[in-house]
Amino acid sequence: MSVTASEQTTSRGASELPPISHPPKGADATREKLLQAANELLFERSGAEPSVSQICERAGVQVAMVSYCFGGKNQLLEALVERINIGIRGELERLAAREMAPEEMLRHHVAAMVRNFVRFPYVSQLNERLRAGNQPAQRIAPPLTDFYRELLGAGARDGAFREVDPELFFFSLVGMCEYLFSARSLLTEGGGAVDDDLIERFTEHTIDLVLHGIRGNMEERP
Amino acid sequence: MSVTASEQTTSRGASELPPISHPPKGADATREKLLQAANELLFERSGAEPSVSQICERAGVQVAMVSYCFGGKNQLLEALVERINIGIRGELERLAAREMAPEEMLRHHVAAMVRNFVRFPYVSQLNERLRAGNQPAQRIAPPLTDFYRELLGAGARDGAFREVDPELFFFSLVGMCEYLFSARSLLTEGGGAVDDDLIERFTEHTIDLVLHGIRGNMEERP
């Protein structure tokens, strides 16, 4: 797997959020600072939620700005999940638009998903908590499931893949990519350190497991 | 997959904890009530942590009993995770002792793991939270990884499986079984209801994905 220089830094500290389309000013700039601060703290604290005052201290803004900019902490966290999801959906659309065999496309997609969990290991659990609290958290499942429906269908038509349920595949693939990050304290090697070498081995391992897992009988290799 | 009557009830409400070896009396009986109450509340609340008073109200015991029996809420939750893990380790030992081809053993193991997440969908995240808070939570990863090392090694020796890293396989398999339960609000069908039909389909889907995923080149089927 090729890992670019900017991606390598993500295994050592929190990464930047996906950029917005225009340079933020005024209240938008404050929103940006708060979102980035929440991202950094959630990353550093393995998903344990920071308080409003911790977020504001990190962002270097007054505590009242969370209410002013978002309405409250849950809405700030929702906006963070949505920002991350917008980045993921954009990545998915660009990948889906490429001319590529289904197997190759899935290989790229798995590598991208692992990379996103390296950057935002807390996002699944945060999303689930926001939904459990009846917050209208943004959903990433439908675009992913639609992507799998297309991809698995195309692969099944040309005999590369066997028939696989796209929604169940969504849970399998996201779970398989996410768990190393959400449960990294269970790593016996290195006391839970997710370093670049482990990420690379895990990406290759996951691609192999998934591609073998759905490969059609027609395409089995000697 | 055959599902026994007692297992079927687990998709509708919290299940009993694995039994202890002797009928509890006195303080042990109170401990049992508290553990069972915490299990029920965590199940019903999708893993959101109940307060000490909620646990005691459900158990029908005085609030002071949490300190008296466990030392505090985190220790109660640790004891709950440990109780569940003892059950899982026992199941694993009984399975490992059976005479069975590696592929067949893995099929049984995956079905058991899904069943355990149906019963205790909150256990992974609770364990992770307890560890993040520096509680010496009990670990289930080493016995599972050892089991996979044996099983994958035996399967590779007879050509049934390809070479697969047992620790990475641990994260893949647990993640793949767990995510449907930890993120069930993402289910588009049925608004997050995990019913018996879904559990059965998911179990078969996961067994197929895993067994195809690690099958050796020697054993590919026409």
pLDDT at A60 exceeding the cut of 80: yes
Percent of chain A, pLDDT > 70?
A: 86
pLDDT at residue A59 above 90? yes
What does the pLDDT average to over A20-44?
87
The two tokens of residue B160 are 């049934």
Residue A4 predicted with pLDDT over 70 = no
CB contact under 8 A, A202 and B176: no
Looking at per-residue confidence, does A194 or A1 come out higher? A194
- pLDDT at residue A189, rounded to an integer: 59
Tell me the chain B residues in contact with residue A220 when contact means C-beta distances shorter than 8 Å.
220-222
- Can you read off the two tokens belonging to residue B54? 């909620």
pLDDT band at A12 (very low <50, low <70, confident <90, very high): low
Mean pLDDT of A86-91: 92
d(CA A73, CA A129): 13
CA nearest B13: which of B201, B198, B196, B188? B196
* ipTM rounded to 2 decimals: 0.85
Q: Do the beta carbons of residue A95 and residue A112 sit within 8 Å?
A: yes
Nearest to A182 among B128, B208, B209 (CB): B128
Q: Which residue of B has its CA nearest to A45?
A: B132
- At A106, which amino acid appears? L
The rounded mean pLDDT for chain A is 85
Lowest-confidence pick of A38-47, A151-160, B92-101, B188-197: B188-197
Per-residue pLDDT for A97 more than 90? yes
A65: pLDDT strictly greater than 90: yes
CA dist B133 to A20, B3, B15, B156, Å?
35, 37, 27, 39
Confidence of residue A133 (pLDDT cuts 50, 70, 90): low
| Contacts A178 to B, Cβ<8 Å | 175, 179
Nearest CB to A178; choose among B145, B175, B215: B175
Residues A65-94 have a mean pLDDT of 94
CA distance B217 to A208: 13
Minimum-distance CB partner of A172 among B182, B206, B214: B206
Helix (H, G, I), strand (E, B) or coil at B215: strand
In A, residues 153-192, which contact B (CB 8 Å cutoff)? 162, 164-165, 167-172, 174-180, 182-183, 185-189
Test A175 with B175 for CB contact under 8 angstroms. yes
Contact A185, A192 (CB under 8 A): yes
* Residues facing A161 on adjacent strands: A215
pLDDT, tens digit (0-9, with 9 covering 90-100), for A176-213: 999 998 887 777 655 667 889 999 999 999 999 999 99
Percentage of residues in chain A having pLDDT higher than 90 = 62
Most A CBs within 10 A among B44, B81, B114, B128, hence the mutation to make, goes to B128
Nearest-neighbour CA in chain B from A129: distance (Å): 8
Q: Do B209 and A213 touch (CB under 8 A)?
A: yes
Q: What is the pLDDT of residue B198?
A: 92
Pairwise CA distance, residues A209 & B166, whole Å: 12
Q: Does residue A75 sit at the B interface (CB-CB below 8 Å)?
A: no
Judged against a pLDDT cut of 90, whether residue A79 lies above it is answered with yes
Q: Is A125 on the interface with B (CB under 8 A)?
A: yes
Q: What distance in Å separates residue B200's CA from the closest CA in chain A? A: 12
Helix (H/G/I), strand (E/B), else coil: A103: helix
What ranges in chain A are assigned the alpha helix state H? Answer: 5-8, 26-44, 52-59, 64-70, 73-96, 102-119, 123-132, 141-157, 166-182, 196-214
CB-CB neighbours of A193 under 10 Å: 11
DSSP B31-74: HHHHHHHHHHHHHHTTTPPPPHHHHHHHHTS-THHHHHHHSSHH
Contacts of B195 in chain A (CB under 8 A): none
Write the Ramachandran bin of A90: left for phi over 0, alpha for psi from -120 to 50, otherwise beta.
Answer: alpha
Query: Mean pLDDT across the stretch A122-134?
Result: 79
Q: Check residue A22 and give its pLDDT.
A: 72
Residues of B in contact with A172 (CB under 8 A): 176, 179, 205-206, 209
- Interface check for B138 against chain A (CB to CB < 8 A): the answer is no
Average pLDDT over residues A128-134: 72
As averages over each run of 10 residues, the pLDDT of chain B (222 residues) reads 39 72 78 95 87 96 94 94 92 95 96 95 85 62 91 94 95 94 74 82 96 75 44
Provide the pLDDT for residue B186. Answer: 77
Mutate to test the interface with B, among A44, A122, A123, A128 (most CBs of B within 10 A): A128
